[in-house]
Amino acid sequence: MTTENSSNENSAENQEGAEMTTETASSSLANISQAHNLGKRAPGTHVMGSGLEARGVHAWFGKHHALSNVSLDFSAGTVTALIGPSGCGKSTFIRTLNRMHEFIPSAAMAGEVLLDGKDVYAAGTDVTKIRLQIGMVFQKPNPFPSMTIGENVLSGLKLAQLKVDNKDDLLEECLVRAGLWKEVKDRLGAHAGGLSGGQQQRLCIARSLAVKPKVLLMDEPCSALDPGSTLRIEDTINELASSMTIIIVTHNMQQAARVSDYTAFFLSEGGPGQMIEVAPTNEIFSRPRDKRTENYVSGRFG
Amino acid sequence: MTTTANVIEVKPRKPWKATPTDRATTAFVLLMGLVIAAAAVKFTGLSGKLGFVFAFVIAATALEVFFSIRKYGRKALGDSIATSLIYVGATATFLPVASILLITLKNGVKGLRWNLFTTDMFNASFLDPIGNGGLLHALIGTLLLIVIAMILSVPMGIMTALYLTEIRGKGSNLIQFVVQAMSGVPSVVAGLFIFTSVILITPLKTSAAAGALALTILMIPTVTRTSQEVLLLVPGDLREAGLAMGATQWKTVATIVVPAARNGLITATILGVARIAGETAPLIFTIGGADKLNLNPFKDYQSALPFYVWKGLTLGTPESIQRSWSAILILLILVLALFTTARTLGGRRMK
């Protein structure tokens, strides 16, 4: 639906003889996102999931200051896209949210990350519980190679030592929500390595759903996938958005426009990465407040 | 840009590090473990150092489990037991090594005299006071042996590894099997082999070179197998990228694969040297054991530090045993110096 609309508009404009300027490109992005938002999730209707709030987050790798003073409020049940050129700290930022940043020995941070109002970095916090509530899908599909498809989906229960009454129901539910059930229901006992890249990534999404996270972080989940698989995963994200808070890092601005309610633009100008601007997605793409955001979303650099 | 002013004021934190409370808990666990262990040795059937250690491990683990369950819930049970076991294992590995080093240092330092490095034993006896004679001949002998063995076995080992990982020719399986079998050869057999097949029938007689040949037999499998492991770690993409630029296989291997595995290959060499530096048995038949400095590696009897140590220990007088301790210390320092040099030379160009 949405893609058809935008392409019609573009071709109409082209027929009128208007050149394909950067303005038309960015406004068509905004149209995609508007159409999408009106159809699926009107602002203010979100109730599920948990809110996550970053307050003045900094991140360091040794002496290298990678991320400076990022404050972002992710309301429960929204999808937020983080965009920006490579090396601007997007991935570092989402890794501070579920405390994966600290795996790098020289890492340090500052600021607060509040999950339902509680700082995940507070003293005495059980970090495994935090990561259980804030799930993560990585750039490269990483199903566990020694497990079958079914075992992969349910691996979270074993790893986090959770008990569930009906594993089969959960297995089916997760795979259905990740949009993979139809393709794998007859070979749940097969090893995950035989799946295609897109299927593996949806398997990883299903795996992270099994432990019922309140927040799902996605670090460029479609960067290694073909357009068909990308579309399937975007459908999955739309599906999930009603029940959890999703934060997705993406280099694909059409994708940001298609899936997100809010978009935050990150940029590093020589120094540490910073969050330049955050706004509802259609605003970022139609009338960005900051000149640098406008340059980026209109494709003038980056 | 306005935020850069704030940046300087914000201090990096590491909230994931242990808090003072955590450290206090750990200290308490260890202290209470010691107290309980002492009490157990005093009042129960457990006795001796071993009993104390046993009681300490049990008590400290139990306390650790108690505190982490109180903090994190039942889920922490497996975690804290595993943590305790890993600490016990690490300590059990570290202690013997540390005590060997310490005892060598303690006993060896007593006999260190300048004359050890400047003279040989030609005009002195092992029974003389430590101020007479020295081990220069053994030091030079060991260096010659290591250098010759390295010259022979490092290229051979790495080439064999390249054959096994890059060429993967028809002989791979056989060579793999032979290399594995060779790594199990007892070192004395290597010495006997060189004695019967080289010293008895070729012009090369008892000398440093003959000893180095025996050591080479021991070193090649170590170098080959370690090199093979690190070459396998080089991603196949890199080879393809090289080949895709029109390179021949040899050019790809020489300019891309080997430099990528460089540090690992240096480790392979170091492990190989470590394998042979302390060998005594293969030298008994092959270098003869001279008391005089011999700078010609291809002729005449030669000595080596392990050989010197062995000779001193078999004589058994306080003076000769003291010589052995000092020689062991010098051997350790020599090996350490070789490793450091290899690491520095190898790491230099990586930046």
Same domain, B323 and B197: yes
Write down the pLDDT at residue B302: 93
* A102 close to B (CB below 8 A): yes
The architecture (CATH level 2) of A2-297 comes to 3-Layer(aba) Sandwich (3.40)
Q: How many angstroms separate the CA atoms of A278 and A268, rounded? A: 15
3-class DSSP state of B11: coil
Q: Is residue B127 part of a domain?
A: no
Report yes or no: A55 at the B interface, CB cutoff 8 Å: no
State both tokens at B245.
């630029």
Q: Tell me how many residue pairs between chain A and chain B have CB atoms under 8 A apart.
A: 52
Mean pLDDT confidence for B121-133: 86
- pLDDT tens for each residue of B163-181: 999 999 899 999 999 999 9
Distance CA B36, CA B161 (A): 54
**Token couple for B92:** 């059990």
Residue type for position A63: K
Supply the pLDDT for residue A28. 54
Asked if A11 has any chain B CB less than 8 Å from its own CB, the reply is: no
pLDDT higher than threshold 90 for residue B70: no
Clarify whether residues B187 and B236 are in a common domain.
yes
Task: Read off the pLDDT band of B341 (50, 70, 90).
Answer: confident
Q: How far apart are CA A250 and CA A256, in angstroms?
A: 7
pLDDT at res. A290 = 93
Q: Which of B12, B16, B73 sits opposite A110 (nearest CB)?
A: B12
Residue A15: the pLDDT is: 42
**A118 min Cα distance to partner chain B (Å):** 14
Tell me: do B144 and B33 sit in the same domain. Answer: no
Task: Provide the shortest C-alpha distance from residue B233 to chain A (in Å).
Answer: 18
For residue B75, the model assigns a pLDDT of 81
pLDDT per residue as tens digits for the range A126-166: 889 999 999 999 999 999 999 999 999 999 999 988 888 89
Q: How confident is the model over B8-14, as a mean pLDDT?
A: 81
Question: DSSP letters along chain A, please?
Answer: -HHHHHHHHHHHHHHTT----HHHHHHHHHHHHHHHHHHS--TT---SS--EEEEEEEEEETTEEEEEEEEEEE-TT-EEEEE--TTSSHHHHHHHHTT-GGGSTTEEEEEEEEETTEETTSTT--HHHHHHHEEEE-SS----TTSBHHHHHHHHHHHTT---S-HHHHHHHHHHHTT-HHHHTT-TTSBGGGS-HHHHHHHHHHHHHTT--SEEEEESTTTTS-HHHHHHHHHHHHHHTTTSEEEEE-S-HHHHHHH-SEEEEEEESSSSEEEEEEEEHHHHHHS-SSHHHHHHHTTS--
ipTM over 0.90 threshold: no
Averaged pLDDT, groups of 10, chain A, 302 residues long: 42 42 49 45 53 94 93 94 92 94 92 93 88 94 94 93 90 92 93 91 94 94 88 90 92 92 94 94 93 89 62
Residues A157/A196, Cβ–Cβ less than 8 Å:
no
Q: How far is A221 from chain B (nearest CA, A)?
A: 22
A128 in reach of chain B (CB within 8 A) = yes
When divided into structural domains, chain B yields a total of: 2
Tokens for B257, please give them: 């694969």
Residue B258 shares a structural domain with residue B145: yes
Same domain, yes or no: B190 and B291: yes
Residue B11 lies in a domain: no
CB < 8 Å to A118, chain B:
none
Q: How close does chain B come to A126, measured CA to CA in Å?
A: 7
Could you report the per-residue pLDDT of B208-266, keeping only the tens digit for each?
A: 999 999 999 999 999 999 999 999 999 999 999 999 999 999 999 999 999 999 989 99
Calculate how close chain A gets to B306, using CA atoms only, in Å.
Answer: 41
Residue where one domain finishes, among candidates B110, B125, B159 = B110
Confidence class for position B351, pLDDT limits 50, 70, 90: very low
Question: Could A68 and B15 be called an inter-chain contact, meaning their C-beta atoms sit closer than 8 Å?
Answer: no
Kindly report, residue by residue over A7-30, the tens digit of the pLDDT.
444 444 444 444 444 444 445 555
How much is the pTM?
A: 0.76
Rounded to a whole number of angstroms, the distance from the CA of B287 to the nearest CA of chain A is 49
Partner residue facing B4 (CB), from A107, A122, A271 = A271
Helical axes B48-72 vs B76-110, angle rounded to 10°: 140
Residue B119 lies in a domain: no
Domain that holds residue B79: 17-110
Instruction: Indicate yes or no: CB of B75 within 8 angstroms of CB of A128.
Output: yes
Give the whole-angstrom CA distance, residue A213 versus residue A208.
7
Q: Could you give the 3-state DSSP secondary structure of residue B156?
A: helix
Residues of A in contact with B75 (CB under 8 A): 128, 161
pLDDT in the model for residue B79? 87
Is the pLDDT at B349 greater than 70? The verdict is no
Tell me whether residues B7 and A272 touch, CB distance under 8 A: yes
Assess whether pLDDT exceeds 70 at residue B201.
yes
Classify residue B289: in a domain, yes or no: yes
Residue B63, pLDDT score:
92
Cα–Cα dist B67/B29, whole Å: 9
- Cross-chain CB nearest to B12 (options A109, A123, A126): A109
* pLDDT attached to residue A124: 81
**pLDDT at residue A29, as a whole number:** 55
CB contact set of B72 (below 8 Å; sequence gap of 6+): A126, A128, B79
Span B290-319, average pLDDT: 91
Q: Kindly state the tokens that stand for B287.
A: 């270098």
Question: A40, exposed or middle or buried, with CB in 10 Å at 0-12, 13-18, 19+?
Answer: middle
Does B153 lie in the same domain as B73? Answer: no
Q: Across the interface, which of B7, B19, B72 has its CB nearest the CB of A65?
A: B7
Question: Is residue B106 scored above 90 in pLDDT?
Answer: yes
What H or E segment, with its residue span, contains residue B233?
helix B208-233
Q: What's the CATH number where B190 sits?
A: 1.10.3720.10
| CB pair distance less than 8 Å for A58 and B3 | no
Helix axes B208-233, B262-277, angle to 10 degrees: 150
Given this model, what pLDDT does residue A11 score?
Answer: 43
Mean pLDDT of chain B: 90
CB–CB of B19 and A58 under 8 A? no
